[in-house]
Structure 1
């Protein structure tokens, strides 16, 4: 599961085998509840989405 907190540098990923935890997280997110991501350990993968200067100019 992944989410982005506004900008590409704040892109997070977690892995789980629990469908129930994913369902609770999605429902919490959809309802706008605080703490929907607290049951997971998140890894920042924002570096994967950074655009280099060469890529930006084409």
Structure 2
């Protein structure tokens, strides 16, 4: 799984990055919008451009 990009450390790094992206997006809108990453992205199973945003 590590070779395919689904190892524990890689998934953890993705989760941290998506959380930071959410916080940055909320800060840019000055709290008028809330951005929450859910599903497979929140679990770190998909990369940035690998899935759509609902």
| TM-score, normalised via structure 1 length | 0.29
The structure with more radius of gyration: 1
Q: Larger % of helix: which?
A: 2
Q: Larger % of strand: which?
A: 1
| TM-score, normalised via structure 2 length | 0.31
